[in-house]
Structure 1
């Protein structure tokens, strides 16, 4: 039985994880004072299923307790497609997601996205695929078009596009641990992120 369901052990697990995160963050800040930490939590895609036995009320209480122990800014990264309403209403500073695969679903949560941004949240748009086949099938222009189409849709739903861009970061879509070429495509993806960011900054006249 996973320790997540053990009421005695679960708080100890959260304490341990939070301490590890804060130690890593302090080390990163010695290199870059602007460093922050993402918690990569793929399990959030599944915990609300009928089979998990882990309801949203317990998850919210546990996650808020966990994040209360982590230095700000703090965020979650997910490659999957969880309950976005739940995540967007947590006390997070940054939400990182795979918008390359989940753009249509995520953008349907416009009211929650707007509330998240209005209270100071930042979205990290994972638009550049890191798996070999989808990466090779895309270009800078196609990825830019794909991302802006999501932004245009949200603009039509009442989220001012310039404001949205001002609350945005770009990132690769996923971590990708299984490419046949090792880290090569992932490194290329980071290069594409950098160039795409430059082009979008020019287009939207960001600083």
Structure 2
């Protein structure tokens, strides 16, 4: 069953058919839902995350299209109270909050045409090849709370009421997505995309958020664990696996102990951060967690020089380094997913094509060896 080879989501192509061809060739056993941010604003990471907020009337748009939560807007207090009830923060105002999210118009159907087609082709067995897994991804609450601001420019993370509502809404959104894909005959992975975990000081755009805000507010470990744990629980209750993806430097200790099933990290540039958490990695693997190694580069220079053989060599060296610090080598081999370091939405089509060609070679290797070719 392992290793699984899949990818993140965003692609630079400008048609669903081109995206489908890339995913089918690079991730034949574990296709992921493609996202096309160059042609669909709705496929930008933040736009997915705020879709329920916008439906609830809590989002205003700046002239440049940037979304904000404007407390001074007419009817804001009433809309906030209603949305809080829907999300179960306080007294629940509907029988089942998930029903509000199950309306296709509120989420991924009108909001993401690529998701509609991906889901339908899988349901109709029209997707190429023979999948063993299906993966989708959505914005995590930490990233939404750090990148989306109020009318004064303050991150939602700074407001205790709003940040709790972000977590509750994101968890319901994840539960809807996981439940929707669980209609398929294959096991499902839902990755929570959290570029907002990158760094703890002021950084600029990380990943495909569509924002360039200064992330000077750092969430503490307790909030990180609670937020990720809420997402993992919501996804896990559907029978799907919950993954957390961060493509930057992050403290993985609160993540590995949060209850998430998959830890997806940039092994090309930030392996040292995971190595520093070797004891936490061992505990994570011992309870059945999976490591998703972002070992296919997204940086242009590294990608241009990359080969499948070189990637496998680097992967073996990193696994050996973890094993030397007490992490079970057998568990590392058995509980492994191979991915790119991040998405390719900000890269060229040629770079994406090369990356997915490498993924296809790695998928063929995984199918033949089951990961046994890596020596520790």
Q: Which has the higher contact order (CA 8 A, sep 6+)?
A: 2
Superposed CA offset, 1:25-49 (max 9, x none)? 2333334521220001011123478
- The corresponding residue for 1:38 is 191
Could you tell me which runs of 5 or more consecutive residues in structure 1 were left unpaired when the two chains were aligned.
Answer: none
1:7 to 136, 149, 160: 160
TM-score (norm. length: structure 2):
0.49
Could you tell me which runs of 5 or more consecutive residues in structure 2 were left unpaired when the two chains were aligned.
Answer: 1-153, 203-215
Matched, 1:96 2:264: yes
Could you list the runs of 4 or more consecutive aligned residues of structure 1 that deviate by over 4 angstroms after TM superposition? none
RMSD of equivalent CA atoms? 2.5
CA contact (8 A) 2:158 2:217 kept: no
CA contact (8 A) 1:131 1:186 kept: no
CA contact (8 A) 1:123 1:168 kept: yes
Superposed CA offset, 1:54-89 (max 9, x none)? 322233233323433333411100100111222212
Distance 1:114 1:16, change over 3 A: same
CA contact (8 A) 1:95 1:123 kept: yes
CA contact (8 A) 1:39 1:77 kept: yes
**More helix, by proportion:** 1
Aligned length: 204
Matched, 1:58 2:223: yes
- The corresponding residue for 1:154 is 322
Instruction: State the distance in 1 between where 2:333 and 2:365 align.
Output: 13
Instruction: State the distance in 2 between where 1:153 and 1:29 align.
Output: 37
How far off is 1:127 after superposition? 0.4
Task: Please state whether the residue corresponding to 1:37 is helix, strand or coil.
Answer: strand
- The corresponding residue for 1:190 is 356
Instruction: State the distance in 2 between where 1:94 and 1:159 align.
Output: 16
Distance 1:175 1:53, change over 3 A: closer
CA contact (8 A) 2:228 2:255 kept: no
Superposed CA offset, 1:114-138 (max 9, x none)? 0100011000111001343221111
